[in-house]
Amino acid sequence: MASPADPLSPTSPFPDRAQRQANRAAKREALLLAAVRMFNERGFHDTSLDEVAASLGVSKPTIYHYLGNKDQVLLECVLIGLDQLREAAAIASARPGRGIDRLRDFLIRYARINMDDFGRCVIRTGDEALSPESATRFRALKREIDSALRDLIVAGIADGSVAPADTRLLAFTLAGALNWPARWFAADGPLSAQQVAEQMVDLLVAGVAPR
């Protein structure tokens, strides 16, 4: 039987590998959340890693240790938002029903993500804020999401639940409308993010349904 002093004992004061990984993940998440909220509020260029570190009571080298330099921190933030959008597209594409129903499902998720911290960062970040290599990756992932949106539109047109339209123009129109809440939505406003998303999407979907 393991003694209390044994590192393998359940009562050991020393964290095991799984606990260390969980602690590291929790610290990275806290740093990213503090950074993304400051980027969204002040803008990337007007935010320093010193300020992000100070908001959590840690040192700037702590951010370097867990995340890297400022460009790497921003890239990590937008990648989280883009992964959320990619997952939303995958979920909507896999659901049964008419094309317009899958499109509506994705658009609601899209709008909802854009009103949250990391999705908001995706919308508010321009290519010029990132290094050339990071900007290339950023644009590629955004094209992937745009392609998923176009595929949903094409499927809706094919089954007759979406009126025939220029797919590229319609995708830009829908995404453009649903990008704006990332700039004006306030969590303390009269409507929740989910309510804003649903009401905006219902207006948009009504416009693309066959007459």
- In tens, the pLDDT along 81-125 reads 999 999 999 999 999 999 999 999 999 999 999 999 999 999 999
Q: How far apart are CA 33 and CA 55, in angstroms?
A: 11
pLDDT tens for each residue of 179-205 = 999 999 998 999 999 999 999 999 999
Q: How far apart are CA 112 and CA 116, in angstroms?
A: 7
Place of tokens 């260390």: 20
Fold of 70-208: Tetracycline Repressor; domain 2 (1.10.357)
Fold of 14-68: Arc Repressor Mutant, subunit A (1.10.10)
Place of tokens 């979920």: 91
pLDDT tens for each residue of 125-137 = 988 888 899 999 9
Which is nearest to 74 in space by CA: 162, 138, 27?
138
Within the chain, all domains assigned CATH 1.10.357.10 are found at: 70-208
Q: Taking residues 75-86, what's their average pLDDT?
A: 95
Within the chain, all domains assigned CATH 1.10.10.60 are found at: 14-68
Place of tokens 């009571």: 57
pTM score:
0.85
Q: What percent of the chain has pLDDT over 70?
A: 91
